[in-house]
Structure 1
């Protein structure tokens, strides 16, 4: 979808040539003397139109208005959440009407948060997956012009960031939605290499021989049951000086998860193609970085492989040696994500990072704990946790901090190795995080468990693109921090 931003009053919007003119109306609306204002004022007075978020009213062939169809929609207090509700309702209406282009205008001055909400919600609500369909139905809405009372520098910046965020989210959705035979570790690596065509981005792809040389025994153990060769993807974005420590993003890249020998039940196993949602989110962030080109340094690490129940697959009770030298007793082969992530977390040490954030569809326990509203957040430092929480709030890509008490690690004790890969069911999301914590001792670290937020099931089955928005906002905040530190010197 194409978006365009312009300064547009209601009087000017009335002269716009478009299929549908959409007017966003808050509870603080004050009518002017132009035709649209007059119509809105009369509709509100007659109680045919409510400014409550998501309430719609259609009008046709209004004298003085060029658009044949006018769609008025309430946005409540005009907060980001209100705009999200309203624009989702608009998108559903436009889909039914098969509208191809529209002008959406805020009737009053708005905020950067509300503008971003409008862009993200409209893009998300109209997204269509087409890659593996023989006769795909294309996205119905092709062009949206966003009109603001005053498109100042702050709003223009928010708009540009939102457009780049949309492209990153949709890139993540594309690769997470693809069936596993169309998104193998090799194909995922090729997707990463396409990103390296942009300036400031480089990509290195390591295969089984290189990974073996690094001593990534835990990662290799998961991959050994699959005919598809593993890939370890290293993306680098350099927008700041080489001396600036990077933020490292580590994405779980299990391109299909059968559970291995600890086989999953058959119902909904097809959804395990989404088990590389963490990897997809890292690719999405780099897509956005390629557009925005901020003054930051970012490294993306993606251990990618399948978890299959071949005769060569790891077995419950096997002991493997990780890159860190720690030995791991594999009590459950379906707890494989942490086995590939732990080696990537050790590899991250070489970059001397300012922070490392891993993103993974790690535990069903997190689904039970938080549902699909918030991703689980674990962090070793309060400042890092606070920054990630704020980044998520600003992107409406919410997370919630969970504990990391050492007592939870007691469940991971093993008689036969340094650590077991699973504990009991109680506190399962925390125990999974505590396993990873063992391998992330040399830098500030955070873990995002996106098992419930990376995709939707049922009739709406598909990837959400989360947490690209959260991660991108966090990375961009580091640019601001860096500039502030530079000025202080």
Structure 2
């Protein structure tokens, strides 16, 4: 794990092309496939065992089963079927779900060195990689547990992975390890409680991870500097700034791959370490779980961890994590205030619980400025990533990220490209469209203000509740001057991960690290 901080802990992955010759290396086999009949020639021993078991249990291809297997490592085989794969609604997540179920059963059986076997699947070219990632999701140990109980830092000694050839095995090991390290960083930051991952602690964690790596890190903490450069974020920070352990941080990261830079990504992540709602306080018990409001910034850090491990060529990535706590108290910002953004737009606050867009809008403006300094058509892509709205969950349900393009990004088909990449690795997206209604919604309602930040209702009760915030970010950052009618159009897409970031209680998923890596990184390795 060269260049990574000691706090990033993922199971060691060991690939093998053999089964019977590894009796001492592993203590059980976990098989993931949809049907016994499709097992390849080099897995005939598994086919025989399962057909024999099928004679006494016809449900073998429907449920996770443990089968005695004297000639296999650990003398036991767990079969975790994917179920059908050829229906309209089947996708590659059948493999990650099955692998996670199989590994959980392996842990119950006492396995400490399981060997995961996922034969090649014609319908889904990345089925093996997705299976390994599903297994690793089930093996994740939260950061606070790793720190408090060293003996519980890992669930297994290693994860074995079978591959039909040495070349495929090495590639699988490389990609799965890098992607899981990225998701681990994302989960660590996103899932840890609001004190362990308060803004100063996030900064320390990120600096530790990327110490002596190819990723550079800079942290802004000075209150006056934040006020000058990021006035909207500073407004959210106003109440928290007098509590040292809660003070805001802007964490900037940069990676430049070898060779000529063909693409530059500019990523801004929402990092609200805890969201009380502010003066518009979250009431009725809905505040619980609001430490997860930092998963957008966590995803940005996760992407940089993947970059630091894989070191892709021909790409530059600049990231900004807006780490701030939306506290409530005598100095909190309130509805009706007018705040002038970095882009010199006068913004009327409508609801202090819409703090995420405030935390990101000036950082997005800063990214716009960086893109314009060295402008080249189609060279730059800007993204905001945030657990922004309850409306996103209301609109598309859990487990799905939403992406929305501005005009130039829509012409470049950014959303469709990321959706396709996400489908291949089991990190799915739904596509929404930013309409004229969304811009109209945020136009100032009087001559006092240029922009209205939000209405007075929850996003889930607001028509177009997840689309209009994207229009706000475009307007508040000045990106509306760089649409399809501009001499310097800039591709910008907003990603809402409120639904895909993971359940609470539960473990964050690490979305959309996999999709972004599949779209922009893996083919450059």
Q: So what's the TM-score if we normalise by structure 2?
A: 0.83
Q: Matches of 1:105 and 1:478 in 2, distance apart? A: 25
Report the equivalent of 1:475.
Answer: 520
Structure 1 position 362 matched with structure 2 position 388: yes
Structure 1 position 116 matched with structure 2 position 129: yes
CA drift of 1:377 comes to 0.9
Report the equivalent of 1:126.
Answer: 139
Could you tell me whether the CA contact under 8 Å between 1:245 and 1:351 is conserved in 2?
Answer: no
Structure 1 position 290 matched with structure 2 position 322: no
Report the equivalent of 1:485.
Answer: none
CA drift of 1:467 comes to 1.4
Report the equivalent of 2:75.
Answer: 68
Report the equivalent of 1:22.
Answer: 30
Report the equivalent of 2:422.
Answer: 392
Report the equivalent of 1:331.
Answer: 350
CA drift of 1:455 comes to 2.8
Could you tell me whether the CA contact under 8 Å between 1:11 and 1:34 is conserved in 2?
Answer: no
Deviates more, 1:132-141 or 1:176-185: 132-141
CA drift of 1:73 comes to 3.3
Could you tell me whether the CA contact under 8 Å between 1:240 and 1:297 is conserved in 2?
Answer: no
Structure 1 position 447 matched with structure 2 position 494: yes
For these two proteins, the number of residue pairs brought into alignment is 471
Report the equivalent of 2:436.
Answer: 406
Q: Matches of 2:171 and 2:394 in 1, distance apart? A: 38
Could you tell me whether the CA contact under 8 Å between 1:246 and 1:351 is conserved in 2?
Answer: no
Report the equivalent of 1:90.
Answer: 102
Structure 1 position 237 matched with structure 2 position 252: no
Report the equivalent of 2:4.
Answer: none
Report the equivalent of 2:93.
Answer: 81
Could you tell me whether the CA contact under 8 Å between 1:2 and 1:144 is conserved in 2?
Answer: yes
Q: Matches of 2:292 and 2:449 in 1, distance apart? A: 31
Structure 2 counterpart of 1:146, from 127, 139, 161: 161
Q: Matches of 1:140 and 1:405 in 2, distance apart? A: 48
Deviations 1:139-163 (A, max 9, x none): 432312111223435x643441221
Distance 1:41 1:16, change over 3 A: farther
Give structure 2 stretches of 5+ with no counterpart.
1-10, 86-90, 372-378, 483-489
Distance 1:266 1:455, change over 3 A: farther
Deviations 1:304-354 (A, max 9, x none): 111111211111100000000001000101101111211011000233261
Q: So what's the TM-score if we normalise by structure 1?
A: 0.89
Structure 1 position 7 matched with structure 2 position 44: no
Could you tell me whether the CA contact under 8 Å between 1:119 and 1:163 is conserved in 2?
Answer: no
Report the equivalent of 2:361.
Answer: 342
Report the equivalent of 1:39.
Answer: 49
Distance 1:25 1:467, change over 3 A: closer
Structure 1 counterpart of 2:293, from 259, 264, 275: 275
Structure 2 residue matching 1:422: 3-state secondary structure: coil
Structure 1 residue matching 2:227: 3-state secondary structure: helix
Q: Matches of 2:269 and 2:180 in 1, distance apart? A: 19
Q: Matches of 1:174 and 1:351 in 2, distance apart? A: 29
Give structure 1 stretches of 5+ with no counterpart.
481-489
Structure 1 position 463 matched with structure 2 position 508: yes
CA drift of 1:194 comes to 2.1
Q: Matches of 2:396 and 2:502 in 1, distance apart? A: 14
Report the equivalent of 1:177.
Answer: 191
Could you tell me whether the CA contact under 8 Å between 1:251 and 1:282 is conserved in 2?
Answer: yes
CA drift of 1:40 comes to 2.6
Report the equivalent of 1:487.
Answer: none
Q: Matches of 1:280 and 1:50 in 2, distance apart? A: 40
Could you tell me whether the CA contact under 8 Å between 2:307 and 2:521 is conserved in 1?
Answer: no
Deviations 1:233-275 (A, max 9, x none): 1100111457555201110011111111101115142311111
Structure 1 position 437 matched with structure 2 position 444: no
Coordinate RMSD, CA, aligned: 2.6
Q: Matches of 1:391 and 1:281 in 2, distance apart? A: 17
Structure 2 residue matching 1:170: 3-state secondary structure: helix
Report the equivalent of 2:88.
Answer: none
Could you tell me whether the CA contact under 8 Å between 2:31 and 2:78 is conserved in 1?
Answer: yes
Could you tell me whether the CA contact under 8 Å between 2:34 and 2:82 is conserved in 1?
Answer: yes
Structure 1 residue matching 2:144: 3-state secondary structure: coil
CA drift of 1:116 comes to 1.1
Report the equivalent of 2:399.
Answer: 373
Structure 1 residue matching 2:289: 3-state secondary structure: helix
CA drift of 1:389 comes to 0.9
Q: Matches of 1:306 and 1:45 in 2, distance apart? A: 59
Distance 1:218 1:66, change over 3 A: closer
